[in-house]
Amino acid sequence: MTSFASLTSQVFALDPLLIGEFGWAEVGIVVLKAVVTFAILLVSVMLMVWFERKLIADMQHRFGPNRAGPFGLLQTLADGTKLFFKEDLVPDRADRVVFALAPYLSLVPAFLTFAVVPIGGGFDGEKNGTVELFGKETYLQLADPPIGVLLILAMSSIAVYGIILAGWSSGSKYPLLGAVRASAQMVSYEAALGLSVVAVVLMAGSLSTHDIVLQQSGSGFDLFGDFGLPRWNLIATGVVPFVIFLISGTAEANRPPFDLVEAEQELVGGFNTEYSSIRFAFFYLAEFMNTVTLSAIIVTLFLGGPAGPTLAGPAWLWGIVWFVLKLFVFLFTFVWFRATLPRLRYDQLMNLGWKVLIPLSLAWLLLLGAINIGRDEDWNLYVVMGASFAVLIIGWAAIAGALRVGQARHADEEAADSGDTEGVLV
Amino acid sequence: MGYLDGFKVTFKKLLEFPRLTKNYVKDEGGKRAKPARLHGRHVLNRYEDGMEKCIGCELCAGVCPAKCIYVRGADNPLDNPVSPGERYGFIYEINYLRCIHCDLCVEACPTEAITESKLFEFSFTNRADAIYTKAELVVDDDGLPQQLPWEDWSDLDLVAAATSAWVRATSPSGVADYEGKVAWSGELGFGVKPPEPAQEGDD
């Protein structure tokens, strides 16, 4: 039994709850956590839909939903209920099995990602982020696999299948266009997303989300001396990976200004055009759940998750309070993006992804690696940084030169082509 | 920073009160003063002596782009005529699932029989209810059309005024000589409406 327990603790989770004796109480706690996580996520999505509609209305100088319930809070519930009772249409030319499968492929990853996000816990002091639940030490997160960050990346990749398959199986042209856009967009931005996460992993030295939060708890970022700053990765990795993650995360979640996948003005509704009733509701749910989850991941990776000072009262409560506050900032930011930024053109999207974000995140990773090694080997920090910057500037010049040559050639070819056709026409 | 100016704009709007749009005042009867030319549900008017204005010419049905009007004319009974002249509309139906409230029927009508009132709150719940027949459209002796169960007429002072509509033709055929002159007949319950103030400017 003990060997089995230790094996499970290594494979599935590092949660102290699962180390050592493993009985019905532990099973009960895990089941309770699963149910609570599920409920929190669903309720937060409901509130998020309301929050987004209300806030974007405010930013556009309107009222937003205000008829159903106090402040229109029950509008989402009303919409959801309505969708349940709508007719479920399947187009004649649809691939029925895939068409039915696709909504779940986009919904389930959205749920699973949230399972590895620490949403509370006493990170202030010596408790290492644990709380007492029914007399057992445990983390306030559903699961803490040693490969938590990889799980997040994997789930964000799988969620794309939902969109691609939905568009492809609809047997209709606009959904197909949306699906093609989705695949290209995801491939472009996943690289930048992954590279910016690597910067965080480099600082934390672990892929476990709990360890990443633990390493960010307390203050004392001291690269250039201790200014009492929090040890958030936002500061420790030098803001750039955070910005890259924010941008490419927005693109991964298909949120404006990167919502080319569903671009109403161009593709009717994009991949979900042919969907109706409960299946459409699943896509809608997944979309907003992705927004919440993405914000939660950003908070976990870059802003120390639930870590923060305990001001008064129990430590576990303050963990949740800090987490929700930080989460809220990002939910606001994403709505703000949507209210402000116009959708990118497709070539702008590709240029930003391949020519700006990926080189930049690679370069920043090199810089961080150099600084880390320099610190371990006790080299002079400023010399290391100077040398790194010099290398990066040379690299940047090389890339810029290559791009310019490529563009010039492209322009030449186009000019030659157009010259030919003119000759033919005349 | 040109890229970030937009964020400032949206954030400023967030803090700006009151909002540009107004709340729907259902609780206050939903009957804020309406623009003079609002296109609401139709009414079939009558002359001040009680005769129906509709002569069953079917021009409104012909001009309707949504094909939502169904009219059949019939000869007036000699002993008890419904309208002045030879014929009257003995069937008149408007399907509000199709009507787009473009007001073309009103423009086509030679006798100002059909006008669009300012009543806009009529949310029926089945297709049969969507078809308003002559019984609902023709005004009663007090000049008001038939109230339907789903219409809120609690504030009759406001509703009554809203059942009479603005009609075009201050200067028929665009002849400037007729500008400001009354060129229409009286309406049961409302009488002869005053002419529009003469338009100024060059529009």
pLDDT tens digits for range B138-167: 988 888 888 888 887 777 777 777 788 777
- The per-residue pLDDT for B199 is 57
Average pLDDT over residues B124-151: 88
Host domain of residue A243:
86-364
* pLDDT tier, B202 (very low <50, low <70, confident <90, very high otherwise): very low
Whether pLDDT at B171 is above 70: no
Instruction: Give the one of A58, A63, A341 whose C-beta lies nearest to B14's C-beta.
Output: A58
Q: What is the pTM of this model?
A: 0.76
* pLDDT tier, B203 (very low <50, low <70, confident <90, very high otherwise): very low
Terminal-to-terminal C-alpha distance of chain A:
86
Q: In terms of domains, do A137 and A201 share one?
A: yes
Name every chain A residue with its beta carbon within 8 A of the beta carbon of B13: 58-61
Answer whether B21 sits within 8 Å of A341, measured CB to CB: no
Q: What is the DSSP letter of A353?
A: I
Of residues A225 and B10, the one with the higher pLDDT is B10
Instruction: Give the one of B7, B16, B20 whose C-beta lies nearest to A336's C-beta.
Output: B7
The answer to whether residues A112 and A151 touch, using CB atoms and an 8 Å cutoff, is yes
Q: Which residues of A touch B (CB under 8 A)?
A: 55, 58-63, 66-67, 336, 339-341
- The single residue listed with the structure tokens 């459409």 is A280
- The per-residue pLDDT for A124 is 64
The answer to whether residues B104 and B116 touch, using CB atoms and an 8 Å cutoff, is no
- The per-residue pLDDT for B71 is 93
Terminal-to-terminal C-alpha distance of chain B:
42
Which chain B residue shows the shortest CA-CA distance from A333?
B7
Q: Mutate which of B14, B21, B25 to test chain A, going by most A C-beta atoms within 10 A?
A: B14
**Structural domain contains residue A130:** yes
Q: In terms of domains, do A266 and A353 share one?
A: yes
A-facing residues of B in 19-48 (CB < 8 A) are 19-21, 23-24
Give, in words, the CATH class of B34-178.
alpha beta
pLDDT tens for each residue of chain A, 426 residues long: 445 555 555 555 466 666 666 777 778 888 888 898 889 888 888 889 999 999 999 888 888 888 888 888 888 889 889 988 988 888 888 888 998 888 998 888 888 888 888 887 766 666 666 776 666 777 778 778 888 889 888 888 888 888 889 888 988 888 888 888 888 888 888 888 989 999 888 888 888 888 888 878 766 665 655 566 677 777 778 788 899 999 999 988 888 888 887 777 777 777 888 888 888 888 888 888 989 999 999 998 888 878 777 777 776 777 788 888 889 999 999 999 988 888 888 888 888 888 889 988 988 888 888 888 888 887 877 888 888 888 889 988 988 898 889 888 888 888 877 665 554 444
Whether pLDDT at B31 is above 70: no
Q: Please check whether residue B12 touches A, CB under 8 A.
A: no
Name every chain A residue with its beta carbon within 8 A of the beta carbon of B12: none
Q: Output the CA–CA distances (angstroms, integers) from residue A369 to A213, A275, B10, B159, B179, in the order listed.
A: 20, 47, 39, 75, 84
Which chain B residue shows the shortest CA-CA distance from A334?
B7
Token digits of residue B153: 């007429």
* Cβ–Cβ pairs < 8 A, chains A and B: 32
**Structural domain contains residue A315:** yes
- 3-state DSSP helix/strand/coil % of chain A, to nearest 5: 70, 5, 30
Q: Output the CA–CA distances (angstroms, integers) from residue A79 to A68, A76, A284, in the order listed.
A: 10, 5, 11
Q: In terms of domains, do A243 and A387 share one?
A: no
Q: In terms of domains, do A292 and A236 share one?
A: yes
Q: In terms of domains, do A170 and A219 share one?
A: yes
- The per-residue pLDDT for B1 is 62
Q: Bridge partners of A133? A: A136
Q: In terms of domains, do A264 and A156 share one?
A: yes
Q: In terms of domains, do A337 and A307 share one?
A: yes
Q: In terms of domains, do A143 and A201 share one?
A: yes
Q: In terms of domains, do A275 and A386 share one?
A: no
Answer whether B13 sits within 8 Å of A61, measured CB to CB: yes
- Nearest-CA distance A63 → chain B (Å): 7
Which chain B residue shows the shortest CA-CA distance from A54?
B14
Q: Please check whether residue B18 touches A, CB under 8 A.
A: no
**Rounded Cα distance, A11 and A6, in Å:** 9
**Structural domain contains residue A274:** yes
Average pLDDT over residues B36-53: 87
Q: In terms of domains, do A342 and A397 share one?
A: no
Name every chain B residue with its beta carbon within 8 A of the beta carbon of A67: 24
Instruction: Give the one of B6, B16, B24 whose C-beta lies nearest to A61's C-beta.
Output: B16
- The per-residue pLDDT for B97 is 92
Answer whether B10 sits within 8 Å of A55, measured CB to CB: no
Name every chain A residue with its beta carbon within 8 A of the beta carbon of B23: 63, 66
Instruction: Give the one of A59, A66, A67 whose C-beta lies nearest to B13's C-beta.
Output: A59
Average pLDDT over residues B88-102: 92
- The per-residue pLDDT for A420 is 56
Query: What domain count does chain A have?
Result: 2
The answer to whether residues A130 and A221 touch, using CB atoms and an 8 Å cutoff, is no
The answer to whether residues A148 and A116 touch, using CB atoms and an 8 Å cutoff, is yes
Q: In terms of domains, do A397 and A289 share one?
A: no
**Structural domain contains residue A210:** yes
Name every chain B residue with its beta carbon within 8 A of the beta carbon of A66: 23
The answer to whether residues B39 and B101 touch, using CB atoms and an 8 Å cutoff, is yes
Q: In terms of domains, do A331 and A389 share one?
A: no
